[in-house]
Amino acid sequence: MSPNLLSRKLVLAQIKPILGYIVTLDPLGYNANQIDVLFLVLGTIAARLTTPGERQLAIMFQLLRTCIQLLRDIPNLQVSPPLNPHILKP
């Protein structure tokens, strides 16, 4: 099994309890609309980068790739309508 595939499986297995905890402080409090939180974090990172270094850009782009892959991998995921054109076809 490739490291990328293994990593994707681990993320998919853990993302719902993680998002539930981040948003509601309850690991069982996951709601499909909470995926927007990851994009909120991504936007906050981008907004706060005044003079980004290589490491900061690498982290930001890794989070972007993770967010987009989650949208593709999780079935029936709902994204806020303003995000649709920018995320689903980057």
**Alpha carbons 35 and 78: distance in angstroms, whole number:** 8
The whole-number pLDDT of residue 87 equals 60
Q: How far does CA 51 lie from the centroid of its chain?
A: 23
The domain ranges of the chain are: 3-75
Predicted pLDDT at 89:
59
pTM for this model (two decimals): 0.68
For 62, the token pair is 């890794």
* pLDDT the model gives residue 6: 80
Ordered per-residue pLDDT tens for the chain, 90 residues: 566 778 878 888 888 898 889 889 888 888 877 888 888 888 888 888 888 889 988 988 888 888 888 877 877 766 666 666 666 555
